[in-house]
Amino acid sequence: MRDVRGPADDAGGGAWNVLLTGASSGLGLAIARQLLGDPRYRLVLTARAASLARFAAAGIVEGERVLLRQLDVTDAEQRRAVVAEIDERFGGVDVLINNAGVAFRSVLEHVNEQERLQQMQVNFLGPMHLMRLCLPGMRARRRGRIVNVSSVAGMMAMPTMAIYSASKWALEGATEALWYEVRPWGIHVTLVEPGFIHSESFRNTVWSREGERAAHEHDDGYRAHYDCMAPFVERLMRRARATPDRIARRIAALLRERRPPLRLPATRDAWLFYLLRRLLPRRLYHLVLWRGLPDTRRWGPGR
Ligand SMILES: NC(=O)c1ccc[n+]([C@@H]2O[C@H](COP(=O)([O-])OP(=O)(O)OC[C@H]3O[C@@H](n4cnc5c(N)ncnc54)[C@H](OP(=O)(O)O)[C@@H]3O)[C@@H](O)[C@H]2O)c1
């Protein structure tokens, strides 16, 4: 039986203050909806300025237990302001959920310096800064939870998603180190690793400038990579049984666990890749994955 108790038990009966990023759509919105129903939490739901109106459209309004705030995780001033407000009004962030994320589609050769930085800023550097802002308070109170939404791409890399994988691997490495570092204060850190989610978020995948050009250029050596991978990923997402709601329920359950795990592969395919990665010899593992990729005979210079 899993060791379960509510966070309110840790808090001595008081509500836990949750800061959630990227809360206006997809998985973030599903997590917000899950936690809204639980009186143990006081929620600070954040989104970029242009996305704030989506809360009203989703029927979420401010109230005694809910604040809606603007937060672009790449903006230092906005990060500082939202954490400072939670410190002043509620006594600090108890649960930080770094959910906001973006995925660039590009082979490594086609992603430029600015795009690389943008990818790392949203998925890695933003969460790093937020953790650094929240941790001193968590350590002072000797309690806290950090949930970093990674991805199956944080344990396996896919062609045309090199920089997305790099950002999630960076998040995984830093979070793993943090797990050891803050254990003495009773702070729990978890990486949630969803596989493919049945959602519309593949529409939000950002093409790198050069990648988009290459995908439309008949003679480009990488054209078949894009031709095959983009519909392949889209198909896997459409067929996926995992929904944002289902993963949000897993995350809500995770917050109730007394000893949450460092890693939570959050979908069946994520478990499968986790096991393959652990059990197969590396060379075999990469060959198995290569064989599973679509139409690789068309890739590259031709035979
Ligand atoms: N979808 C999947 O199959 C999948 C699989 C594995 C892991 N994940 C991870 O799950 C998390 C949620 O993704 P999702 O599937 O829910 O995708 P999504 O629907 O595209 O949601 C991403 C969220 O991140 C926000 N965001 C993007 N850039 C931001 C920034 N600079 N500052 C603040 N917020 C920003 C977006 O806000 P805007 O609406 O303003 O753009 C949006 O709310 C991400 O970390 C993603 O990497 C997703």
Is the confidence at residue 11, as pLDDT, over 50? no
Residue 126's closest CA among 22, 204, 202, 197? 22
Query: Among 8-22, 46-60, 80-94, 226-240, where is mean pLDDT lowest?
Result: 8-22
Is the confidence at residue 102, as pLDDT, over 60? yes
Whether ligand 1 lies within 6 angstroms of the CB of 204 is answered as yes
CA 14 to centroid of ligand 1, rounded, Å: 30
User: Per-residue pLDDT tens for 173-188?
Assistant: 999 999 999 999 999 9
User: Per-residue pLDDT tens for 57-87?
Assistant: 999 999 999 999 999 999 999 999 999 999 9
Is the confidence at residue 5, as pLDDT, over 70? no
Whether ligand 1 lies within 6 angstroms of the CB of 102 is answered as yes
pLDDT of residue 27: 97
Whether ligand 1 lies within 6 angstroms of the CB of 121 is answered as no
Residue 186's closest CA among 135, 222, 229, 248? 135
pLDDT band at 8 (very low <50, low <70, confident <90, very high): very low
**Which tokens hold the place of 110?**
């086609």
Average pLDDT over the chain, rounded to whole? 94
CA 256 to centroid of ligand 1, rounded, Å: 24
Helix (H) or strand (E) holding 55: helix 53-57
Nearest-CA residue for ligand 1 atom 32 is 72
Is the confidence at residue 201, as pLDDT, over 90? no
- Ligand 1 nearest-atom number relative to CA 50: 40
- Ligand 1 nearest-atom number relative to CA 168: 47
**Strand 66-70 with 144-149, pairing:** unpaired
Tell which one of 20, 24, 34, 48 to mutate to probe ligand 1, the residue whose CB is within 8 A of the most ligand atoms. Answer: 48
**CA 33 – CA 38 distance, rounded (Å):** 9
User: Per-residue pLDDT tens for 203-250?
Assistant: 789 999 999 999 999 999 999 999 999 999 999 999 999 999 999 999
Work out the percent of the chain whose per-residue pLDDT is above 90: 92
**Which tokens hold the place of 121?**
């800023």
Catalytic residue (choose from 164, 180, 222, 274): 164
User: Domains in the chain, start-ordered, CATH in brackets?
Assistant: 7-298 (3.40.50.720)
pLDDT band at 200 (very low <50, low <70, confident <90, very high): confident
Beta bridge partners, 193, equal 265
Is the confidence at residue 12, as pLDDT, over 80? no
**CA 226 – CA 102 distance, rounded (Å):** 18
Tell which one of 197, 233, 237, 269 to mutate to probe ligand 1, the residue whose CB is within 8 A of the most ligand atoms. Answer: 197
Whether ligand 1 lies within 6 angstroms of the CB of 28 is answered as yes
Tell which one of 68, 102, 268 to mutate to probe ligand 1, the residue whose CB is within 8 A of the most ligand atoms. Answer: 102
User: Per-residue pLDDT tens for 269-290?
Assistant: 999 999 999 999 999 999 999 9
Does residue 164 carry a catalytic annotation?
yes
**CA 8 – CA 94 distance, rounded (Å):** 11
pLDDT of residue 153: 96
Residue that is written with structure tokens 């290569």 in the block: 290
Whole-model pTM: value is 0.96
Is the confidence at residue 264, as pLDDT, over 60? yes
- Ligand 1 nearest-atom number relative to CA 98: 45
Is the confidence at residue 1, as pLDDT, over 70? no
Is the confidence at residue 6, as pLDDT, over 80? no
pLDDT band at 7 (very low <50, low <70, confident <90, very high): low
Query: Among 44-58, 156-170, 201-215, where is mean pLDDT lowest?
Result: 201-215
CA 153 to centroid of ligand 1, rounded, Å: 14
**CA 131 – CA 97 distance, rounded (Å):** 10
Residue 104's closest CA among 124, 84, 87? 124
**Which tokens hold the place of 196?**
């493919």
Mapped onto helix, strand or coil, the DSSP state of residue 266 is coil
Mapped onto helix, strand or coil, the DSSP state of residue 36 is helix
pLDDT of residue 10: 53
